Structure 1
Amino acid sequence: MPDQSIAAPVSAAIRGRLLSFHRPPAGPDDLDCLTYREDGLLLVGTDGRILETGDWADLRGRVPDGVTVDDHSGRLVLPGFIDTHIHFPQTQVIASYGAQLLDWLEKYTFIEEQRFADPTHAAANAAFFMDELLRNGTTTAVVYGSVHPQSVDALFAEAEARGAGLIAGKVMMDRHAPPALTDTAESSYRDGKELIGRWHGRGRQRYAVTPRFAITSTEAQLEAAGALLREHPGVHMQTHLSENTDEIAEVGRLFPGARDYTDVYDRFGLLGPTSLFGHCIHLSEAEMARLSESGSVAVFCPTSNLFIGSGLFDLDALSKPERPVRTAIATDVGGGTSYSMLRTAAEAYKVLQLRRQNLPALAALHWMTRGNAEALGMAGEIGSLEPGRWADLVVLDPAATPAMRHRMKAVDGDLEEELFIQVTLGDDRSVAATYLRGRNSHLRQTGA
């Protein structure tokens, strides 16, 4: 019998097919890595955290009078998706035609990001950005702002108003960008310090020190980034690493004293367990060893890597048992081509196939939930349906589209096959609902 004591009053109850991981899958067919309830009930406390999960038959009597059960019977209820690398100022850059990384930045991104000096523009885009995340079932994201502090203020304010938690930061760039997008080592340090004081640890918000990448930061600015990390333990750091061969060559020219691209960041104290490095495609053995030793995270951005033609992520190389590198997965909008973590996982599968590697459905869904939470050091807060975690949830419809509905007829009760169809064919239409702290924050319109 379930424990009859509940720590806080029940404020919400969600019924559905509950699925949550408690460890990484060892491979296909490893269903012992998860907890699955065909007809489950999740109870949420007034603090927005999960109180209890169990079978509907056992817990239905625990729903207080006046609390309506949100009934998603037949649909999967999972922890909300976590996106570990996405650019807030690039919502109107996504799907920009035909360029390699450095050209793409100059032709599209730097032009668009200048508009975020306007707080009204930043606020309007923050509302759209949060709408789009929630429509795709993403409840936590690690986000790049623009160089303007007001862009990060707008983003955090929007997330706070909705009850969401973000990790975000002001981009630091003091060279090789338009004058309207450059700061200085001193101003970026000052702005970062003020933003950390204003937002880091305020409710669910967390700050990330954000040098864009080595090409756009001088040594003085990278030193300022390292100083912010040293002075504010617990903040994250995000940047880009080894995305494109031309980029790597330019970094070598700008930092001739560094052993390699990773060493540029290492020299300024930017590696560590809270450091997220986007892309990590063309790494040497020495670089992977150093990332492993430092506990840093390599972030796989498959749709971006394909769209910009950067290269193919090598998961097996990063996962060698003798020096494993922690990994995460992300959309990287706007170089990435979809806000959907499901679409992202589908493209990750294809990238790894080209590497003669594999991504089973269980591994993909673990990665975008508990796996990404662990990469952020937040598995005690998000990423699973365990009691005490925030009740951030995504509800997936197995029959969201005619093609999925037709394909599902051949599944015959095989959960893993169903999950692979969801990962392969799913997108924003699969998301029937998204919850933040147990409150419905997105409900798919009938017929959408």
Structure 2
Amino acid sequence: MKRWILSLGVFLLILSAVAVSASGHGVHSVIQKPVRHHQHIQLGIDTLLSEKKDLLKGKRVGLITNPTGVNQRLTSDIDLLFHDPDIKLVALYGPEHGVRGSAQAGEKVDKYIDEETGLPVYSLYGDTKKPTPDMLKNVDVLVFDIQDVGTRYYTYISTMAYAMQAAHENHIPFIVLDRPDPIGGTHVEGPVLDPKYASFVGLYPIPIRHGMTVGELAGYLNNEYHIHADLTVVKMKGWKRGMSYSDTHLPCWVMPSPNMPTEDTALVYPGTGLIEGTNISEGRGTTRPFELLGAPFINGWKLAQKLNALHLPGVIFRDASFTPTFSKYSGQLVHGVQVHVIDKQSYEPVITGLSIIKTIHDMYPDKFQFSPEDKNGISPFDQMVGNGWIRKDINAGVSVKTMEKKWQPELKQFEKKRKKYLLYK
């Protein structure tokens, strides 16, 4: 009994010491909560309004934006500029999906009046992709603020390039409010666009994954391809090249388009976006576009086994079935895989996307199809990948590794030129 009482006394003494230290008196607490270090990022729009408003004072402003054009507190650029007494916002310009993001992929948007502000809204997607002199007649300066996703064939950077051309032709200064590359600014990947295959999903010779912010891209395109716009880039503060979007600790991900619901979507998109140029569903019409992939004729379990046997870095595949609500195979049960990225740093989205396409092509040679060619022998897949030889190589049984070696020389040239336009180290 005495031994038990003594043990109890020792236990109570230790408990008392812990309580004292936990209360902040004497030594530090035995149990401490881990400290989370937040990297403060200031977006271009916040820098503009806090430090560089003189760029807009006394000028009639045209704003090219969409729902991603928001400040740190998720207030729309439209509201910020429209209600600022020092700024006169006179016109809005919308890319694919529109200023308010209400249009689906490929859906044309006509000119209309914005309900919230009463301002004219001009569409830069559809019949008119480049602002006309009539659209710019009352504008003294053009401002661009849209979240890109780091992939060449995402059309917003083509909209920016066309708008820069129009700004130069109409003697209007062009301002880019910079935002992060959500999949990081250190990795570049994929073939550089062959100018013969230039289109709205790729205007200039850059690789599929370019590893640049829109501000950096604007500088690169402006100088390397002689656009000659009177360009100003309002930089971010605190962004580092190795950051993914979640590393920035910005409030949340605002969908840049209806089928880009998460940061994970943006990460896989440089590769699985290429599947749009085939008869395989890229997952449109599901809650996981570009992560869910398949077709009614695929055995998902066998496809997952074959893809996992490739040991592609940073990714694993799970067999999955789904029923798209629109787009390819709408209302039909589809079988395929879901792409699960397990290591963002080692993951290679372009290699992964081409490996998926080649594997399905080899498994189902009689059922897999690339989208039809146009009268010039160019298919939508060719426009997205940026050349005609990769489609031919897949049909000829060439390995993805061999294709990668073939595009490396041009990719290295791009990386070399790109360095002098990087704004963040």
When normalised by structure 2's length, the TM-score is 0.25
Higher relative contact order (CA 8 A, sep 6+): 1
Q: Which of the two has greater strand per residue?
A: 1
Q: Which of the two has greater helix per residue?
A: 1
